[in-house]
Amino acid sequence: MSNETEVTRRDAGELGQRDAAGRRAVLVPAVDIIEDKYGVTVWADLPGVPKDKLDIKVHGDNLSIEAEAVVPTPAGMSVTHSEVRTSRYARAFSISPDLDTSKIDASLQDGVLTLRIARREAALPRRIEVTSA
Amino acid sequence: MSDFLFGHVGSDLFREFDRLQHHMSTLAGGFPASLRSNQSYFPPVNIGATDDAIEIVVFAPGFASSQFELSIDKGLLTIAGERKRPEAATGEGARSYARERFMGAFRRVIELPPNANPDDVKAKYTDGCLLIRVGKHESSKPRSITVL
C-alpha cells in the first residue's frame, strides 16, 4: 500500500457534504499508515462506531472500510452546535500485490480500528546463503 | 484550540461561510484562517439540549477514560487530554505513508449557558466518544402553570 495507490484522498472540507454524485454524505476517517518488514498497519479513527456497525471488505486489491457511528441521544434533544454532521464513514484503499489479503487482522478499540496486513511470504526480505564451491 | 459561544452558532449561513473559508484555506495550502470551530479542530464536538440537560458529544477515539481532564469553572467546561502515538508506529525501519490522525495535547473550552448546573455533570466514554451531560437548574426547566 502506498500513497500513490491510495484511491481516496482525505479532504476535511468535504466532511458532511454530499459528494459529486449526490450520494449520501460520508465522513472520511483520518488514518495513519505504517509499513515495516512484515507488512502494513493501518489505524483509522472511527469514533462512535461499535463493532457490529463496522464493515471491512476486500475485493481483489481493493480494501474498503465502511462504518456507522451510533451516538445515543436522548429523545427530544435539539442540536445547537454540530461539527460532525453525518454518522457514516467510508474509505477505500488499493492494496499492493506484495501484501497478503488473506492475512488481515482487524481490531476495534475505543473508536480506533487497527488493521494489520501481512506481507506475502515471497515478498518478505530474506537472506541468501552463499555456499562455497 | 477554540472557544465558541453556546447557542447561537448553528446558523446555516455561518456554516456556509465556514465551509467556504475552510475550502479556500485548503486550496491555499495554509492554515485555516477561521477562529471559529470547524472540522479542523480536535476533537470535534456536537452539542444538543433537552428540557433537562445539555448533552455534549466529544468525538475523541483512542483514549482511556482516565486520560481526559474535565473541569468546569465559571460556566466554562474544559475538556483536555493528550493522545500519544502507539509504540509500534515508531519502530525501526518502519516507513510512514500517512499521518492524518491527530496526536498530541488538546484543549477545548465550551461556554455553558447560564442555566447549566455545574454540580450535575455526568461523563461516559464509549466507542471513542465522550458523552457529557450537564444538568440544568431546576428553576430553568419548563413547567406548566396551573391557572386557578
Q: Which H or E element spans position B78?
A: strand B76-83
Q: Does A28 touch chain B (CB under 8 A)?
A: no
Q: Which three cell numbers stand for residue B26?
A: 485548503
Per-residue pLDDT, B24: 60
Q: Which H or E element spans position B126?
A: strand B116-126
Residue type, A93: F
Pick from B38, B50, B128: CB nearest A48: B128
The verdict on residue A60 lying in a domain is yes
Range of the domain at A88: 12-74+84-121
Are the beta carbons of B61 and A34 separated by less than 8 Å?
no
The verdict on residue A6 lying in a domain is no
Whole-angstrom Cα distance, residue A25 to residue A82? 15
The verdict on residue A130 lying in a domain is no
What are the tens digits of pLDDT across the range A85-113?
888 999 999 998 889 988 899 999 999 99
Domain count, chain A: 1
Three-state DSSP at B137 gives coil
Cell numbers 486489491 correspond to A61
**Mean pLDDT, residues B49-76 taken together:** 92
**What average pLDDT does the structure give for chain B?**
78
Which has more confidence, A74 or B80? Answer: B80
User: B84 pLDDT band (50/70/90 cuts)?
Assistant: confident
| Best CA proximity match to B39, nearest among A43, A104, A84, A93 | A84
Chain B partners within 8 Å of A83 (Cβ): 37-39, 41, 44-46, 59
Per-residue pLDDT, A22: 53
Q: What is the CA radius of gyration of chain B?
A: 19
Q: Does A6 touch chain B (CB under 8 A)?
A: yes
The verdict on residue A128 lying in a domain is no
The verdict on residue A98 lying in a domain is yes
CATH number of the domain to which A107 belongs: 2.60.40.790
| Best CA proximity match to A9, nearest among B85, B102, B26 | B26
**What pTM value is reported for the model?**
0.73
